[in-house]
């Protein structure tokens, strides 16, 4: 049995039971320097810590983004508050933040945990990369249209990430991850950047556009999101944001009313590039994994590691 690093009192509970991290597994790729840990429910979680280098509201964005996506029926990992104690943090210095100025110790407290999709090792380990020739093998490829519309509403400022899990029938199921740059990004600074929130593998979107389905996603969002937002807001840890959350909710509510026009504007600016690019990709870069889609700050020009985590 593992040692439990859990305080006996003074815990602020969020939406559901808060877990404690028992075992450090490894540090993960990415700007927030998240860590894979095993918690006291024996499951594995990707933990994004407070005060991580990405900015003030990243944990709130993760929490709100996952809650809203889940409420509208899009596949996302379960989220939990994960307590990291002083003993745990001191026992595993590899989880500390690293910067050119040196290592920085995270503080104890309730951090954000995303339930690891699949298994951290072995055949059930998920993939983050999907080759252009394999996109038709994604069983729930349609969900990328819904997620695109959700990301337009949420003014997502980063490329859309997903992990793909192999099913027994040979297909892959996509789960959306990394919501830290939704809601105008870590500082809640809304700005129009059409097309920024596409997944790096644009072939996923080939032939997905369908006016009826778009209209149906939008009206579904307009019904479900208001209550999902207020529930998620009430349940969220207050130390996960520094911005004015009521202003954010007001802005998001207003964007929900304008969602048909927001989607139209985004689509007019960028969706045609999907088709062009898709044809080009099929002709020129099969299976390379390298996509340069010219997002304005270059976030979308990464070469993603084909292996996950």
Binding site for ligand ATP (CB under 6 A): 28-32, 34, 46, 77, 114-117, 126, 128, 161, 163, 177-178, 180, 308-309
The least CB distance from residue 34 to Mg ion, in Å, is: 9
**Which residue, among 44, 53, 39, has the nearest Cα to 97 in the 3D structure?**
53
- Binding to Mg ion by residue 281, rule CB under 5 A? no
Q: Is 62 in the site for Mg ion (CB under 5 A)?
A: no
* Smallest gap from residue 31 Cβ to ligand ATP (A): 4
Q: Are the C-beta atoms of residues 161 and 167 closer than 8 Å to each other?
A: no
The site partner of 29 among Mg ion, ligand ATP, none (C-beta below 5 to 8 Å per kind) is ligand ATP
177 makes contact, choosing from Mg ion, ligand ATP, none, with CB < 5 to 8 Å by partner type, with ligand ATP
* Residue among 155, 19, 153, 160 nearest 78 (CA): 19
Q: Which is nearer to ligand ATP, 76 or 214 (CB)?
A: 76
Closest CA to 196 of 49, 282, 298: 298
Residue with Cβ nearer ligand ATP (163 or 196):
163
Selection from Mg ion, ligand ATP, none that 266 binds (CB < 5 to 8 A by kind) is none
Q: In which element (H, E) is residue 228 found?
A: helix 211-235
Closer to ligand ATP by Cβ: residue 41 or 261: 41
Of 145, 15, 124, give the one whose Cα is nearest residue 74: 145
Using the contact rule CB under 5 A, the part of the chain among 5-13, 178-186, 233-241, 246-254 near Mg ion is 178-186
* Binding-site partner at residue 182 among Mg ion, ligand ATP, none, CB < 5 to 8 Å by type: none
Q: 128 or 143: whose CB is closer to ligand ATP?
A: 128
Phi, psi of 138 (to 5 degrees): -80, 115
CB 163, min distance to Mg ion, A: 11
> Cβ contacts of residue 135 below 8 Å, gap of 6+?
141, 201, 203, 204, 206
User: Of these, 30, 75, 226, 260, which contacts Mg ion (CB under 5 A)?
Assistant: 30
Q: Which partner in Mg ion, ligand ATP, none is near 308 (CB below 5 to 8 A by kind)?
A: ligand ATP
Dihedral-angle region of residue 59 (phi above 0 means left; psi in -120 to 50 means alpha; beta otherwise): alpha
What is the spatial distance between Cα 227 and Cα 190, in angstroms, rounded to a whole number? 22
In the complex with ligand ATP, the residue whose CB is nearer, 195 or 259, is 195
For residue 161, the minimal CB distance to Mg ion (Å) is 5
Give the β-pairing of 161-166 and 79-84. Answer: unpaired
- Least distance between ligand ATP and beta carbon 118 (Å): 7
CA distances from 51 to 24, 34, 55, 244 (A): 19, 11, 7, 17
Closest separation between CB of residue 10 and ligand ATP, Å? 28
Taking the C-alpha atoms of residue 196 and residue 205, their distance in angstroms, rounded to an integer, is: 14
- Residue of closest CB approach to ligand ATP: 30
> Contact with Mg ion (CB under 5 A): which of 128, 143, 151, 178?
178
**Contact of 54 with 28, CB cutoff 8 Å:** no
For the bound state, the minimum distance from the C-beta of residue 207 to Mg ion, rounded and expressed in Å, comes to 27
Compute the distance between CA of residue 93 and CA of residue 26 in angstroms, rounded to an integer: 11
Residues in touch with Mg ion (CB under 5 A): 30, 178
């Amino acid at each position: 049995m593992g040692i439990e690093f859990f305080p006996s009192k003074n815990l602020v509970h969020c939406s559901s039971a808060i877990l404690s991290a028992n075992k450090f597994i490894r540090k993960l790729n990415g700007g927030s320097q998240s860590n894979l840990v095993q918690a006291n429910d024996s499951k594995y979680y990707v933990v994004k810590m407070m005060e991580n280098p990405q900015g003030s509201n990243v944990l709130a964005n993760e929490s709100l983004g996952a809650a809203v996506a889940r409420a509208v029926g899009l596949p996302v990992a379960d989220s939990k508050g994960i307590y990291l104690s002083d003993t745990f943090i001191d026992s595993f210095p590899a989880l500390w933040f690293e910067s050119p100025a040196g290592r920085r110790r995270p503080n104890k407290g309730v951090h954000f945990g995303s339930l690891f999709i699949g298994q951290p090792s072995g055949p059930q380990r998920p993939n983050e990369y999907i080759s252009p020739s394999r996109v038709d093998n994604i069983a729930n490829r349609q969900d990328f249209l819904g997620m695109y519309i959700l990301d337009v509403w949420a003014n997502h400022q980063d490329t859309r990430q997903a992990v793909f899990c192999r099913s027994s029938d040979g297909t892959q199921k996509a789960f959306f991850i990394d919501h830290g740059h939704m809601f105008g990004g870590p500082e809640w600074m809304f700005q129009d950047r059409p097309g920024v929130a596409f997944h790096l593998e644009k072939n996923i979107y080939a032939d997905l556009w369908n006016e009826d389905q778009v209209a149906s996603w939008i009206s579904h969002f307009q019904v479900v999101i208001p209550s999902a937002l207020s529930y998620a807001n009430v349940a969220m840890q207050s130390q996960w944001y520094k911005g004015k959350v009521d202003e954010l909710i007001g802005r998001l509510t207003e964007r929900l009313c304008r969602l048909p026009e927001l989607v139209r504007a985004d689509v007019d600016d960028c969706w045609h590039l999907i088709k062009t690019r898709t044809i080009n990709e099929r002709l020129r870069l099969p299976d390379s994994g390298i996509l340069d889609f010219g997002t304005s700050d270059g976030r979308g020009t990464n070469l993603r590691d084909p292996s996950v985590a």
